[in-house]
Amino acid sequence: MSNINEVNEPEVFVVADNILSPLGKTTAENFAKLRENISGVKQHTDLAISPLPFFASLFDKDEQFVKADEHNYTKFEQLLIASIADALNGSGVDVRDKKTVLIISSTKGNISLLEDEAITDELKERISLSTSAKLVAEHFGFQKQPIVVSNACISGVLGVVTATRLLCSNQYENAVVAGADVISKFIMSGFQSFQALSAGPCKPFDKDHDGLNLGEGAGTIILSTNHKYAQNIKVKGGSVSNDANHISGPSRTGQELANAIKNALQEANFAPTDIDFISAHGTATVYNDEMEANAIAISGLQKAPVNSLKGFYGHTLGAAGLIESIISIQSLKQALIIPTIGFTEAADPEKVNICAAPIRLKANNFLKTASGFGGCNAAVIFGK
C-alpha cells in the first residue's frame, strides 16, 4: 500500500479522455446520455453468450471500431485502438516521445478466443495480454514497451495509480492509460456460476439488490506532468490494498478498502470532509455493496453523496474504473453528479448517502473506489 505523492513530486494532470461504450463513442456523448438518464443495459437473447436471456450493456454484434487491415485486430484490440485514438486527437501528447508510456488495463482481454479455437502455442501467445498491448502500441508508434495491468475489477483504477506513480518518479512525462473488456460466453458463464448476475436491471446499494449486469466498453485517460496542463483536473492521491479474504467473496468488514481510502486521503493531504462525492464500485451484489458501505462509513465519508454507474454501463470489468472516473471528472467540470439508476431505498442508509437523483454541486474533489475478486481494492482521488 505505497503512496503516490511525496513532497516536491510533480503534479499529475488529466490531459484528455475518452469513453467508448454502447451509449456513445466519445466522453461528451456518454455524459449527455447519462444526463438524460439513458441506460445501455438491456435484455439480450444471444445463445453464443448464454443459453438464457440476460441483461447487459453490449455493442451491436457486427459493429466495427477500426477499419479492417492486415492485423486482424480482435474486438478487444479494436476497442482499445478506437478509444486511445479519440483521446489522443488534439491532446498535444506525442506518443513517439520516449517520455510517453502506454498502460493497458483489462480483466479478460482476448479470453473469448479459447471458446472456438484449438489450444496451441500460437493461440496461447495470441491470447496473451502482452500480445494485445504490443499490437496496440505498434499501431500508434509508442517507443517504450507497454505496461499491462490486470488485477480483476480494480484494473482500471490501478492503471491510473500505476501511471501516476511512474510520472511522479520522473520516469515519464506522459501516460496513456486505456482499459477495455468484451463480454463472452466464458465471462458470462463464470459470473453465472457464482450466481452473481441479476435477473433484471441491477440496483446498486438498494435494499432489493440481487446481483450485477455485465457490460462492454473502453476508456482512456491521458495523464501528464507538463505544466502547460496545470489548469486541468489533477490526480491527487491513490492507493491499493488486498483483504486476502476469499477468491471471490470480499471482506465482510470493509476495513481493507477503508485502508486504501485512508492512504489515498493521506497522499492528497485531505480530511474526509474534502471529498465532495464518491464514485463507488457499486456492483449491486449483496456482498460487494455491503462491504463498500462499511468501508465508506469506516472512512468517515457517510455524508458524502455516493453514486454507482453500473446501472448505466453494467460492469465493464477492466474498463470500469476508467469509464467511471471519466464520468466523475465531467461531473466536476459540469457541477452535476449523476444519480444511481435503479436505486430507490438504501440497504445501509446510516452508512452511505446514495445519490438517487441528479445533484447540482460545485464539487472540487471526488473519490473513486474499486474492488475485485481475490480481495483487491483501490482508491484514487481526482480534483481541481
| Half-sphere exposure of residue 336: CA atoms within 13 angstroms, side-chain side | 12
Predicted confidence at residue 1, as pLDDT, reads 44
- Residues 194, 276, single domain; the answer is no
Look at residue 2 and tell me if it is in a domain.
Answer: no
**Looking at residue 23, what DSSP letter applies?**
T
Predicted confidence at residue 7, as pLDDT, reads 52
Q: Which tens digit of pLDDT belongs to each residue from 230-240?
A: 999 999 999 99
- Residues 210, 245, single domain; the answer is no
What is the rounded CA–CA span in Å between residue 150 and residue 130? Answer: 11
What's phi and psi for 184, nearest 5 deg?
Answer: -135, 175
Predicted confidence at residue 62, as pLDDT, reads 86
- Residues 273, 213, single domain; the answer is no
- Residues 195, 96, single domain; the answer is yes
- Residues 283, 217, single domain; the answer is no
- Residues 48, 124, single domain; the answer is yes
- Residues 181, 309, single domain; the answer is no
Number of domains in the chain: 2
Predicted confidence at residue 4, as pLDDT, reads 52
Burial class (CB in 10 A: 0-12, 13-18, 19+), 11: middle
The label of the residue with cell 466519445 reads 26
Q: % helix / strand / coil in the chain, to the nearest 5?
A: 35, 25, 45
What is the rounded CA–CA span in Å between residue 309 and residue 338? Answer: 8
- Residues 186, 241, single domain; the answer is no
Look at residue 178 and tell me if it is in a domain.
Answer: yes
Q: Which of 213, 228, 243 is where one domain is finished?
A: 228
Radius of gyration of the chain (CA): 19
* CATH number, position 219: 3.40.47.10
Which residues of the chain carry a pLDDT beneath 70?
1-7
Where in the sequence is the domain holding 150, given as residue range(s)?
12-228
What is the rounded CA–CA span in Å between residue 277 and residue 244? Answer: 28
Q: Which of 203, 228, 253 is where one domain is finished?
A: 228
Predicted confidence at residue 3, as pLDDT, reads 52
Q: Which of 181, 210, 228 is where one domain is finished?
A: 228
